[in-house]
Structure 1
């Protein structure tokens, strides 16, 4: 396959991000900030997963949507298989589903906007993909409705103030989802810097027949 070496590199990076995030999402942050219990707001996986959108967008920019989808599918398969060894099965299933749909949405949005100002496509793609990914992952991983996938995480379904600060209470995983989404959106903005810096290095290449 043309560009096979580059595809393998991107797929390996994607797999590393997915496996690391699936493992780290099981660990809430410890301590507090301004009276807010960080464990009610974020898990460590929120800080690693946004890199997946950077990998997808760089692949899409350099090789087009067909290669980007191959990288996503490769990361999906390898990530899910390895994640069954590093995380609970329910986490692996939820992560794989959310990852696949969120990344494919990112690719679609990126392609629609790729001819606009350079930052429009990666930012819009990562934000919309993050919203979809977060909604799917946390509901599949922790909501009682999807208990048929696997047992609940007892800590995740305990009730706590929303975002650790509001009087309204909800299952802790909802606060995690909102906090996770906030970090992903912020990361999407921050990751525009390496994306912009790499634009002059990873220039678009002639498409393959599949693209």
Structure 2
């Protein structure tokens, strides 16, 4: 598939995708504060939301190329860091702490925000790199499967180790490795069991939409690589 997008179309796509990344990050930073036990294992609700970013990134690489996916990550980095800190300050253990909480610098919250930033940046770059190398294989599912395995592993390890290892949150400091492993297992279960079929369906749908949207446009701007 070969698509042509004008400069304004390209910027609009990057902006929309970056906003979607920040939205998922914000939701995940809130949900990771809500641990629960499933079948005797500790995990958090963030494990069910964050895989959406990898779904979006893989579709971006497939349809628009690795360079565009990296532009999306670059555009989302600073807003993601700010949103991570603000949300973690305003909501503690899933409860609204009030605007007064913004007046004091919270070290633990800053660690969580930094952890989220590092995990997002390096996890996404690894995911994009792996997907880019495998995207031309005839089996469409190999690239998203491999990128999900590696990207989620790095993301999970970075986030929980930076945020909670030796932190003032006693429960998370004690159980972060267990929670990280269970979190990773749930991410894989959700990503490969639910998102992989969804990826295939969205790929077909978006391919038809983008081809229709650009078929009548003159060949100007940047050309999207073949899928």
Deviation track 1:86-109 (CA, whole Å, cap 9, x = no partner) reads 112211100100110010000000
Query: In the alignment, does 2:110 pair up with 1:89?
Result: yes
The structure that has the greater radius of gyration is 2
Deviation track 1:13-55 (CA, whole Å, cap 9, x = no partner) reads 111001111111111025x53xx1x5xx101111101111001
Secondary structure of 1:42's aligned partner: strand
The TM-score normalised by the length of structure 1 is: 0.81
The TM-score normalised by the length of structure 2 is: 0.76
Secondary structure of 1:118's aligned partner: coil
Query: In the alignment, does 2:2 pair up with 1:4?
Result: no
The partner residue of 1:193 within 176, 197, 215 is: 197
Higher relative contact order (CA 8 A, sep 6+): 2
Q: How far apart, in 2, do the equivalents of 1:55 and 1:210 lie?
A: 17
Superposition deviation, residue 209 in structure 1: 7.2
Q: How far apart, in 1, do the equivalents of 2:29 and 2:71 lie?
A: 21
Secondary structure of 1:26's aligned partner: coil
Deviation track 1:85-139 (CA, whole Å, cap 9, x = no partner) reads 1112211100100110010000000011001110000110011001111111111
Q: How far apart, in 1, do the equivalents of 2:122 and 2:188 lie?
A: 17
For the aligned residue pairs, the C-alpha RMSD in angstroms reads 2.1
Task: Name structure 2 gaps, 5 residues minimum.
Answer: 1-6, 89-108, 212-218
Q: How far apart, in 2, do the equivalents of 1:201 and 1:112 lie?
A: 23
Query: In the alignment, does 2:36 pair up with 1:29?
Result: yes
Q: How far apart, in 1, do the equivalents of 2:169 and 2:224 lie?
A: 42
State how 1:41-52 maps to structure 2 within 5 Å.
Answer: 41-52=42-53
